[in-house]
Structure 1
Amino acid sequence: MEPEVGVKREALEADRPAEETETKRLKTEDAADTNQYPFTPGVIERGHIYFFYRPKVEREEVHSMDDVAKLYVLLVPSPSESFDMQVKIEQSKDVSGADADEMNLVAQGADAAPPHESTTKDKKHFRLIIVGKKKLPDPEHEKHAPIWATVIFVGDNLHDLEEKLGGRTYETKTRGTRHTPPVRLAGRGVYAIVNSQGNVPSRNSTHLGYHLSHPTELGDVQKALGIHIASSFVIQVKNPNAEAQDGQRVGLPKSRRAIYSEGIMEHVFGRGERGRSSIGLRFTNCNCIELLDHEGAELLFIPARTGTEGNDESLGNQRGEALEEVGRYESEEQVEQIFKELAFNKDRFPAEPLKGEWA
């Protein structure tokens, strides 16, 4: 017996959502299988961080921010293999009392702590970032004041980096010979980049947290540049296909922007499926560190928190304490050792700013 027309229609309509749900589920599973760039919670990079400023052209001496042309952040990642913090952790098994408690804190966040390298290698991976407005935003007073930053140089040879940061003399048609002074080292420490997973994808975030080893006390230079002993920022990466809105004149021209793979544009920025336009999301978290390994990558640094406790909150798993422990351990190194690990000629780069003094 055939069902009545109304009954048959209701049955068909009841079946349709189930079929559509199954189809959608299969598509989602297929996409997950082909996505090489999923959001991966936890530490995605750790290493050493350096802060440099460059004086303006023809300014051999700097007396205030008025004489500063640019601020750079240099990230030198450490290998993800085992590191000597693990030795400390093993040693902590034989320590009792307050010392044991301190080592347990380090053990919990040890994945954020870079290794101490006893040998110098000529080639290391590095990433040079130029910071807008010549200073870092202050998490204590500028919570809602993100700044632009751009990856301008990526490589594996520190000698190339030394030339990039060194002085340069060049000729101009109108002003004749001009000289750009070399950069000055204003800070050095350890850092970790950590992905935190929210209860929904839109709540995912990427934080960069650092703790200085040099200097151990802030001077006029560090305060003016917005460098704290310990601080953290939310990092967001701009879609290279996204144009400035509302007539804003920010960001790089299209010819100088990062060129990402088809997989990143599809799976990270969600081209054609996410966001409000066909290009996908205008900004995204750092799903994978590869996003930062492109010259022309445009970033937003959003101030988050300061201090070790602030880093703990931003990075999770007591990683702020781990960074502090390593920073304190490495603070005993001489300035000469810092330039040695960078394979730089220390005579080319004034280091007085590490003492808080303009140079």
Structure 2
Amino acid sequence: MPTTRSGKEDNSLASTTDQAAGSKHQIDNTASPASKRTKKEDDDMEISGDDKIPSPTEAYGPGGAMERKQNGKDQAEGKQDTKYTEQRSKNGSSAVKKGERPGVPSNILEKGIVYFFFRGRVGIDEPEGVDDVARSYIVLRPIDKDAKLGEGTIGDAGNSRLIAIPKKVLPQSGRERWIAFVEKTHTSFKTLKEEFLASNDYETKTAGTRHTPAATPVAEGIYAITTTGRESHLAYIITLPSGGLGEVQTEIGLKEKGSFIVSTRNPAYPPPGRQSLPGGPEYPKEIQDEFRSLRWIGTHPKHLDIVKTQFLLIGESSGIQKATEPQKKAEGNEEPIEELEKLEDEDMRRMEHLKGDDSASIYSDLEVHAKDYPKLQTTF
């Protein structure tokens, strides 16, 4: 079926200039955050339609991922299950080779493996176009900055993050600015399997049994969170699908090499469109102090380790050029683009040596059986 970017996508956030990405939202410290916010600012940042953060039932159905407990207080605060991590690290199965890549540029704040997914609308297991997609998701699996990738699967360090995007597609230009939020942090592949990847059936009073389809993989690759001083960027290079981007990847908004400006929202101020998650993120004082009087600051990896962090994804039409610009003050032996390209080459080689097709390779990485989940799609 011919598809276009969903007609429901609006640019209601477009009027928030690059100030939303960083340092120019200074507020008078003598006034409370809420009282200084003007009606025009509320209108400019208004979110409508698919931008709205879904309720747990809308996203997964009753008892789904968003309603399940986050392993008590530690999970809510974004703390890592160290026992699980130590257990996994001793089995020696990871392709991550620590300490073999010294001299990584200091303006690369984090690097790792990225997986892109979408979930079809309720009752639609096989979407035939973007309009059949409910939400998009990003899974980040960080690795050590000084690590390189060898052969085999990535291994589960229990440190994965699940990023939910209440949109059907990803932003591609500076005029497209979506709010995303951190749904899970320090997460095991077992938890992702049970609380994210799986489908779910639930009962409603009015419509009877409802079916939320399983998450469908769209692409896999490598990523880096970089800083260019005032701004932070999430840059990626796609490894799978191995045959190049298909219709699905293009419609979802992926590029072979792409990036987003990423800015974390200060929870002291009302959220755009007044859409927020119950409770909000529980930031430690260190992060609270970084906000000062700013509404937004450049996203740092530690922000993404806090459940319910909300951040702005701003599309970049220039690919990864701006995200990987070398910085004069940055330390390291190479430029950021060189590090990303090396990492992508290593990732491509290891994925080629995994058994099965592209789908099997992704699910092998995530330690689940490919036959139980949807295949990676390249066409609708």
TMscore range, shorter length: 0.5 to 0.7
In structure 2, what is the Cα distance between the partners aligned to 1:41 and 1:196? 11
* C-alpha contact (below 8 Å) 1:230/1:311 kept by paired residues: no
* C-alpha contact (below 8 Å) 2:228/2:325 kept by paired residues: no
| Structure with more helix by fraction | 1
Does residue 299 of structure 1 match 2:318?
no
Instruction: Please give the secondary structure, in 2, of the residue aligned with 1:357.
Output: coil
- 2:379 aligned residue: 357
Query: 1:230 and 1:250, CA in 2 relative to 1: closer, same or farther beyond 3 A?
Result: farther
Match of 1:172 among 204, 209, 218: 204
Query: 1:325 and 1:250, CA in 2 relative to 1: closer, same or farther beyond 3 A?
Result: farther
- 1:89 aligned residue: none
Instruction: Please give the secondary structure, in 2, of the residue aligned with 1:222.
Output: helix
- 2:181 aligned residue: 150
Superposed counterparts of 1:63-212, under 5 Å? 63-80=128-145, 82-84=146-148, 115-116=149-150, 118=152, 121-138=155-172, 142-163=173-194, 164-197=196-229, 204-212=230-238
TM-score normalised over the length of structure 1:
0.67
Shift of the alpha carbon at 1:292? 1.0
RMSD between superposed Cα atoms in Å: 2.4
- Structure 1 unmatched ranges of 5 or more: 1-39, 85-114, 198-203, 271-279
Shift of the alpha carbon at 1:179? 1.1
How many pairs were matched up? 262
Superposed counterparts of 1:147-296, under 5 Å? 147-163=178-194, 164-197=196-229, 204-216=230-242, 217-244=244-271, 249-253=273-277, 255-266=278-289, 268-270=290-292, 280-286=293-299, 288-296=300-308
Query: 1:323 and 1:263, CA in 2 relative to 1: closer, same or farther beyond 3 A?
Result: closer
Instruction: Give CA-to-partner distance per residue, 1:302-342, whole Å, 9 cap, x none.
Output: 12344464553388963224323432443342522322121
Query: 1:241 and 1:307, CA in 2 relative to 1: closer, same or farther beyond 3 A?
Result: closer
Query: 1:122 and 1:311, CA in 2 relative to 1: closer, same or farther beyond 3 A?
Result: closer
Instruction: Give CA-to-partner distance per residue, 1:171-204, whole Å, 9 cap, x none.
Output: 111111111110111010000111222xxxxxx2
Give the residue type in structure 1 aligned to 2:184: F
Instruction: Please give the secondary structure, in 1, of the residue aligned with 2:343.
Output: helix
CA radius of gyration, larger in: 1
Give the residue type in structure 1 aligned to 2:210: R
Shift of the alpha carbon at 1:143? 2.0
Give the residue type in structure 2 aligned to 1:319: P
Query: 1:161 and 1:352, CA in 2 relative to 1: closer, same or farther beyond 3 A?
Result: closer
In structure 2, what is the Cα distance between the partners aligned to 1:153 and 1:83? 24
Instruction: Please give the secondary structure, in 2, of the residue aligned with 1:124.
Output: coil
Report % sequence identity: 29
